[in-house]
Chains A and B, each alone.
Chain A
Amino acid sequence: MGAASDICETATAPRAVARRYRREMILASLAYVGIIFISVYVARHFAPPRWVAILLALGSAAPVLMMLRAYGRFFGGLDEFQRRVQSDALVIAAGIVGFAALTYGFLETFADFPVFEGALIWVLPAIMFVHGVAAFFIRRRYQ
């Protein structure tokens, strides 16, 4: 799903679909890096008012929508078997990351485990990463 798992994702996809996915992901990633850089710079150096801070936060998330759209188009271009692999991988990734987040939330609440500020930022990247790993192993299972 994400750029980190790009090689696993596009290895078996139709060439045109894989090419479009890579192009859209690179564009989205460049936009992400650029907007994050600007947002962090403004937040640290100008102490912006709250409404500007909200805009910076939403702006930082916008390129992720581009990534999700790219993945949606990639998914739509796959054949039924490849979609099956992707779907299975997404279910596994959502289950593992969701369960890990829930469990750590309980540990924070009941056992005073450290609270990581901004930890929610890592939920989607974690799903992307686990999805890439899961898709790799699922594909091997079908070989």
Chain B
Amino acid sequence: MRNRLKVLRAERNWSQADLAERLDVSRQSVNAIETGKYDPSLPLAFKIADLFGMPIEQIFSADNVAQAAE
């Protein structure tokens, strides 16, 4: 799964630690999600979407969907 977490975080000048604190997870979790090595659960994905005020599909997309869009 791909995501725009790093871009969205950078737009707000948040560090990984800032984002982690807002999501109540560890910085390592944010890093693993950003690098695409860990896919968050649905509740956490919704929490991320809520935090950025965006629909979930504007942040996360399946690999094949992202490739098709490119």
- Is A79 in contact with B38, judged by CB distance below 8 angstroms? no
Does A117 count as interface, using CB distance less than 8 angstroms? no
Given A80-B41, A80-B44; A139-B25 close (CB under 8 Å): no
Given A81-B38, A84-B38; A142-B44 close (CB under 8 Å): no
- Is A143 in contact with B31, judged by CB distance below 8 angstroms? yes
Please give, as numbers and ranges, the residues of chain B lying within 8 Å of A45 by CB-CB distance.
none
Please give, as numbers and ranges, the residues of chain A lying within 8 Å of B38 by CB-CB distance.
81, 84, 142
Please give, as numbers and ranges, the residues of chain B lying within 8 Å of A12 by CB-CB distance.
26-28
- Is B37 in contact with A141, judged by CB distance below 8 angstroms? yes
Does A39 count as interface, using CB distance less than 8 angstroms? no
A: interface residue count bin: 10 to 19
- Scoring A residues 5 to 18 as 1 if CB is less than 8 Å from chain B, else 0, what string do you get? 00000001110000
B33 closest partner in A (C-beta)? A81
How far, in Å, is B58 (CB) from chain A's closest CB? Answer: 22
Does A29 count as interface, using CB distance less than 8 angstroms? no
How far, in Å, is B43 (CB) from chain A's closest CB? Answer: 8
Given A141-B37, A142-B37, A142-B38; A80-B32 close (CB under 8 Å): no
- Is B25 in contact with A142, judged by CB distance below 8 angstroms? no
- Is A79 in contact with B29, judged by CB distance below 8 angstroms? yes
Given A141-B37, A142-B38; A80-B28 close (CB under 8 Å): no
- Scoring A residues 101 to 135 as 1 if CB is less than 8 Å from chain B, else 0, what string do you get? 00000000000000000000000000000000000
**CB<8 Å pairs between A and B, sample of 5:** A80-B25, A80-B41, A82-B29, A142-B38, A143-B28
Mark B residues whose CB is within 8 Å of A: 24-29, 31-33, 35, 37-38, 40-41, 44
Mark A residues whose CB is within 8 Å of B: 12-14, 78-82, 84, 139, 141-143
